[in-house]
Amino acid sequence: MFEATDQTRRKQRQESAIKYLLTTMTVIIVLPLLLIIFYLFYKAAPILSLEFLLENPIHGMRSGGIWAPLLGTIYLVLISLLIATPVGIFAAIYLNEYSRESWMTRVINLAVVNLAGVPSIVHALFGLGAFVLFAGIGRSILAASLTLAIMTLPVIIASTKEALAAVPHSFREACWNVGATRWQTIRNVVLPNSISGILTGVILQVSRAAGETAPVMFTGAVFFKAIQTGDPFAYGLLDQCMALSMHLFTISTQVPDVPDALTYGTAVVLLGVVLLFNALAILLRIKLRGKKKW
């Protein structure tokens, strides 16, 4: 009784083969990631220091630090998210909680999905046309942030809608039936139970906003601009700025004889900025999840 037949043995072999295949695939994904990070740090090691962060590039960007582009990127990411996050979340709340099925909302939903797939260079061109030229803001941090906001908005709306839709319908029913208004329902029950998902969606957009070159290059970032070191308010909203993504592009392709460490150091800092924003969002998420009622 219970002996393995030929068929069960074949199934067992298949089972272990599949397991090895899946494990290998996972390693294949993780390995390059670790390699990239290791390689970046290895190449950047000679230059990484506090001074590197806090000094402007000098000697035609062949030495010195990356203060100006670092601060620029922080400004761009922060301002674009300050614009895109509330607008995106409120739009998603409207679409998911208030709007009724109609051709209008169907068109809007379709537009959101399709806008999320528009290449960034197209957004760049739109930003140049709409904000820099038409609205007359000029090439500036504001125009670039608005462009990044427009670029990240559709994805934030889509991911927020998904997070809202994941909240069980029965929670809403429970609220309606004690006489809660829609907004009370959203504030007391829907948002607290979807905030993790919403913030995850927003986090993913940080790296997009920080990493894109074209949208900021067209609308507000410059090749070189020295700013007051040590002053976190060295940029004004209507100033042009440097940005890490563009700086990386410049020193690795446009300027001859840049030491390797400088290029890789810039890449490491760009990565650091993204991780920093992610960490902030994760902290916020933990804090908000702690209190389910607000």
Partner 1 sequence: MSDLAYSIVTRDLSLWYGEFQALRSVSFKARNGLITALIGPSGCGKTTLLRCFNRVNERYGNVTTTGEIRLLGKNIYDEDVSLIELRKSVGMVFQRPNPLPLTVYENIVFGLHIHSPARLNASALDEAVEQALTDVGLWMDLKDKQKSKATSLSLDQQQKLCIARLLPLKPEIILMDEPCSALDVEATRQVEELMLELAGRYTIIIVTHNMAQAKRVSHECAFMLMGELIEHSRTEDLFIRPLDKRTAEYIEGRFG
What is the spatial distance between Cα 205 and Cα 212, in angstroms, rounded to a whole number? 11
- Regarding 173 and contact with partner 1 (CB under 8 A), the answer is yes
Q: Which of residues 82-101 bind partner 1 (CB under 8 A)?
A: 100-101
User: Of the two residues 50 and 178, which places its CB atom closer to partner 1 in the complex?
Assistant: 178
Q: Which of 22, 31, 174, 280 binds partner 1 (CB under 8 A)?
A: 174
User: Of the two residues 36 and 174, which places its CB atom closer to partner 1 in the complex?
Assistant: 174
User: Of the two residues 109 and 188, which places its CB atom closer to partner 1 in the complex?
Assistant: 188
**CB of 14 vs partner 1, minimal distance in Å:** 40
| Residue among 182, 209, 196, 207 at smallest CA distance from 83 | 209
3-state secondary structure of 294: coil
- Packing angle between helix 6-44 and helix 260-290, nearest 10 degrees? 120
**CB of 91 vs partner 1, minimal distance in Å:** 20
Q: Which of residues 177-196 bind partner 1 (CB under 8 A)?
A: 177-181, 184, 188-189, 193
- Regarding 290 and contact with partner 1 (CB under 8 A), the answer is no
User: Of the two residues 185 and 250, which places its CB atom closer to partner 1 in the complex?
Assistant: 185
**Choices 53-61, 111-119, 131-139, 169-177; region in contact with partner 1 by CB under 8 A:** 169-177
> Which residues are bridge partners to 221 per DSSP?
241
CB 95 within 8 A of CB 162: no
- Regarding 229 and contact with partner 1 (CB under 8 A), the answer is no
**Full DSSP string of 214-257:** HHHHHHTB-S-----TT-TT-S-TTS-B--HHHHHHIIIIISTT
Give the CA distances from residue 87 to residues 76, 91, 223, 237, 252, in Å, rounded to whole numbers and listed in that order: 17, 6, 31, 20, 36
- Regarding 286 and contact with partner 1 (CB under 8 A), the answer is no
What is the spatial distance between Cα 225 and Cα 207, in angstroms, rounded to a whole number? 23
Beta strands in 81-149 (DSSP E): none
**CB of 178 vs partner 1, minimal distance in Å:** 4
Number of residues that bind partner 1 (CB under 8 A): 21
User: Of the two residues 123 and 161, which places its CB atom closer to partner 1 in the complex?
Assistant: 161
**CB of 99 vs partner 1, minimal distance in Å:** 11
**Choices 13-21, 172-180, 225-233, 236-244; region in contact with partner 1 by CB under 8 A:** 172-180
What is the spatial distance between Cα 273 and Cα 34, in angstroms, rounded to a whole number? 18
Write each residue from 108 to 147 as x if it is in contact with partner 1 (CB under 8 A), else as -, in one continuous string: ----------------------------------------
User: Of the two residues 126 and 171, which places its CB atom closer to partner 1 in the complex?
Assistant: 171
User: Of the two residues 173 and 260, which places its CB atom closer to partner 1 in the complex?
Assistant: 173
Do the strands 57-58 and 63-64 form a parallel or antiparallel pair, or are they unpaired?
A: antiparallel
Burial label for 172, CB within 10 Å (0-12, 13-18, 19+), is middle
The residues of the shown chain that bind partner 1, judged by CB under 8 A, are 100-101, 168, 170-181, 184, 188-189, 193, 292-293
